[in-house]
C-alpha cells in the first residue's frame, strides 16, 4: 500500500498562491496537476486596500477555483488601509469594511486571511533577478544597496524590473503618493504601530469568531527597519507579545520562513514550537546568507541555502500543524516568464521537496521512531 497521509484530513494542506486570471502567468489547470495540491491561496487582486469586497466577486473566485478542482483555502492578502496602520480618525470606517469582508469570506467558507502590518512598503528587495551561477535568477536583498537609494528610486527600480507584472503590495497608485505616505507615518513609532494593530485586531475578533475566520499576520520582510519605517512582527518575543495582547486563537500568524530568516538569529524551529496552534498558515522557502543584511532566495532544497528545512518541517509536525502551507518564492528557471518569485516551475519543484520531507517525517513520527 502506498503511503497516503497527505490526503488525510489530519495533515497539512499543500496550497499555491494564485493572483487570479489576468494577473498570474500560471493557470489553475497547471496548478491542479501538481501532486498533492489541495487548494489555492488567492485574492481579488484589483481590489484596493480599505475597500469592502463584493460577495458576488468572492463567489465567482470560489467557483472558478472549484471548477478547476481546487479549494480556496485562504486569502492573501486582504490588505489593511494606511489609516488603520497610522491610526487616523477614518480608521473605524475602514475597519468596518474589513469586518464586513470577513463576514462575506466566512459565509463563503474561506477560513483564513493572511495580511501584513508594514508601513508604506510591503516586502522589500534590492534585486528582483539576481543571477546565480547555474543561470537561474532570484530575488535578493542587500542592505548596502538599499542604504544608497531613496524609496522613490527603489520603487522605480522594482517597477522597471518586474517584467510588466504588478507586484503584490506595490500598487502604482499608492507608490505615486510615496512622499505623502512617508509624511503620514512620520510620527508612527514601533509602539504606536503596535497599538494600532492591537486596536484593529480587537475590533475584528468578534467577526472572526462568528464566521470562523483566522487572521494570520505575515512576518515583516525583512525583519528590520527599512528607510526608518517601524517593524513590529520580527522575532519570537515580539510575535508572542502580539498574540498575548489579543489572546484569541483567531489572532494568529503566517509563519514565513524566508522572512524570519532575514535575521539569522531567529531560531525558526524554536519559534514554531513556541507559537504552536497560533500558526494558521505557513510559507516555506529557503534563503542563502552571505553577509549580515545580505541574502538571496534559494531553491527549497535545504543544501541550496542556509535554512535547516528538515528541522523546520519536523517542528511543524511536532506541533501537529494541519493548516495550509505553500512553497514561497521560487527561482526563475527554464526560461519561464512570470511575476518575480512566482513562476510555476521552481515552486512546483519546491512543493514536492516539502511533501517528501513531510511524508517521511510524519511516517517516522506515526511509527514512533
Number of residues counted as binding Mn ion (CB under 5 A): 3
**Cβ 77 to Mn ion shortest distance, Å:** 10
Q: What are phi and psi of 128, to 5 degrees?
A: -95, -10
Question: Looking at 35-43, 235-243, 250-258, 335-343, which segment touches Mn ion (CB under 5 A)?
Answer: 250-258
62 is a contact residue toward Mn ion (CB under 5 A): no
In sequence order, what E strands does 61-126 have? Answer: 71-76, 112-115
φ, ψ at 296 (rounded to 5°): -135, 160
Nearer of residues 123 and 185 to Mn ion, judged by Cβ: 123
- Cis (ω within 30 of 0) for the bond into 222? yes
Q: Which of the 8 DSSP states describes residue 304?
A: G
C-alpha angle with apex 87: 94 to 263, nearest 5 degrees?
105
CB of 99 or CB of 217, closer to Mn ion:
217
User: Is 18 or 94 the residue whose CB approaches Mn ion more closely?
Assistant: 18
Q: How far is CA 230 from CA 106, 170, 189, 217, 220, in A?
A: 31, 18, 6, 16, 10
Strand pairing class (71-76; 112-115) = parallel
Closest approach, Cβ 35 to Mn ion, in A, equals 22
Query: What does the per-residue mask of binding to Mn ion show for 292-331, with x meaning CB under 5 A?
Result: ------------------------------------x---
* Binding string, residues 135-174; x marks residues near Mn ion by CB under 5 A: ----------------------------------------
142 vs 328, beta carbon nearer Mn ion: 328
Q: Dihedrals φ, ψ of 221, to 5°?
A: -140, 110
Q: Between residues 250 and 283, which has the closer beta carbon with respect to Mn ion?
A: 283
Comparing CB distances to Mn ion, the nearer of 106 and 350 is: 350
Instruction: Give the binding range for Mn ion (CB under 5 A) out of 44-52, 54-62, 192-200, 254-262.
Output: 254-262
Neighbour count for residue 132 (Cβ, 10 Å)? 18
Residue 187 beta carbon to Mn ion: minimum distance, rounded to whole angstroms? 29
Residue 262: which H helix or E strand, with range?
none
Give the C-alpha separation, 184 to 119, whole Å: 10
In 3D space, the residue among 142, 143, 175 whose CA is nearest the CA of residue 159 turns out to be: 175
By CB under 5 A, name the one of 256, 272, 279, 284 that touches Mn ion: 256
283 counts as binding Mn ion under rule CB under 5 A: yes
* Shortest separation between residue 297's beta carbon and Mn ion, angstroms: 11
User: How near is the Cβ of 51 to Mn ion at its closest, in Å?
Assistant: 23
Between CA 303 and CA 46 the distance in angstroms is 38
- Contact range with Mn ion by CB under 5 A, out of 124-132, 136-144, 256-264, 274-282: 256-264
Q: How far is the CB of 127 from Mn ion (least distance, A)?
A: 18
C-alpha cell at 248: 484569541
Stretch that binds Mn ion, among 18-26, 47-55, 200-208, 281-289 (CB under 5 A): 281-289
Cβ atoms of 117 and 80 closer than 8 Å: yes
**Which residue number, 304 or 328, has a Cβ lying nearer to Mn ion?**
328
Give residue 48's Cα distance to chain centre: 18
Residues of the shown chain interacting with Mn ion in the complex, contacts defined by CB under 5 A = 256, 283, 328
Amino acid at each position: 500500500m502506498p503511503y497516503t497521509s497527505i490526503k488525510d484530513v489530519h495533515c497539512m494542506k499543500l496550497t499555491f498562491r494564485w493572483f487570479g486570471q489576468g494577473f498570474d502567468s500560471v493557470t489553475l489547470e497547471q496548478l491542479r496537476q501538481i501532486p498533492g495540491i489541495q487548494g489555492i491561496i488567492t485574492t481579488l487582486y484589483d481590489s484596493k486596500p480599505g475597500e469592502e469586497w463584493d460577495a458576488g466577486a468572492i463567489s465567482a473566485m470560489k467557483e472558478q477555483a472549484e471548477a478547476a478542482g481546487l479549494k480556496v483555502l485562504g486569502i492573501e492578502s486582504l490588505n489593511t488601509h494606511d489609516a488603520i496602520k497610522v491610526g487616523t480618525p477614518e480608521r473605524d470606517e475602514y475597519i468596518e469594511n474589513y469586518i464586513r469582508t470577513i463576514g462575506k469570506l466566512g459565509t463563503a467558507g474561506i477560513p483564513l486571511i493572511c495580511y501584513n502590518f508594514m508601513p508604506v512598503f510591503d516586502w522589500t528587495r534590492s534585486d528582483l533577478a539576481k543571477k546565480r551561477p547555474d543561470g537561474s535568477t532570484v530575488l535578493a536583498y542587500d542592505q548596502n544597496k538599499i542604504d544608497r537609494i531613496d524609496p522613490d528610486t527603489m520603487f522605480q527600480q522594482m517597477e522597471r524590473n518586474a517584467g510588466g507584472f504588478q507586484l503584490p503590495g506595490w500598487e502604482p497608485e499608492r507608490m505615486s503618493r510615496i512622499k505623502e505616505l512617508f509624511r503620514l507615518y512620520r510620527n508612527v513609532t514601533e509602539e504606536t504601530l503596535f497599538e494600532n494593530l492591537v486596536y484593529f485586531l480587537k475590533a475584528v475578533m468578534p467577526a472572526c469568531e462568528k464566521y470562523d475566520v483566522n487572521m494570520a499576520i505575515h512576518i515583516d520582510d525583512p525583519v528590520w527597519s527599512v528607510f526608518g519605517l517601524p517593524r513590529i512582527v520580527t522575532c519570537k518575543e515580539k510575535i508572542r507579545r502580539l498574540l498575548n495582547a489579543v489572546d484569541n486563537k483567531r489572532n494568529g500568524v503566517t509563519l514565513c520562513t524566508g522572512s524570519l530568516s532575514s535575521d539569522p538569529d531567529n531560531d525558526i524551529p524554536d519559534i514554531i514550537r513556541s507559537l504552536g496552534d497560533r500558526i494558521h498558515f505557513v510559507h516555506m522557502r529557503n534563503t542563502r546568507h552571505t553577509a549580515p543584511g545580505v541574502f538571496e532566495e534559494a531553491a527549497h532544497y535545504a543544501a541550496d541555502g542556509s535554512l535547516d528545512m528538515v528541522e523546520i518541517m519536523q517542528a511543524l509536525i511536532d506541533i501537529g500543524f494541519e493548516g495550509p502551507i505553500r512553497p514561497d518564492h521560487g527561482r526563475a528557471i527554464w526560461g519561464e516568464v512570470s511575476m518575480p518569485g512566482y513562476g510555476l516551475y521552481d515552486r512546483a519543484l519546491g512543493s514536492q521537496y516539502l511533501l517528501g520531507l513531510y511524508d517521511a517525517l510524519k511516517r517516522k513520527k506515526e511509527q514512533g521512531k
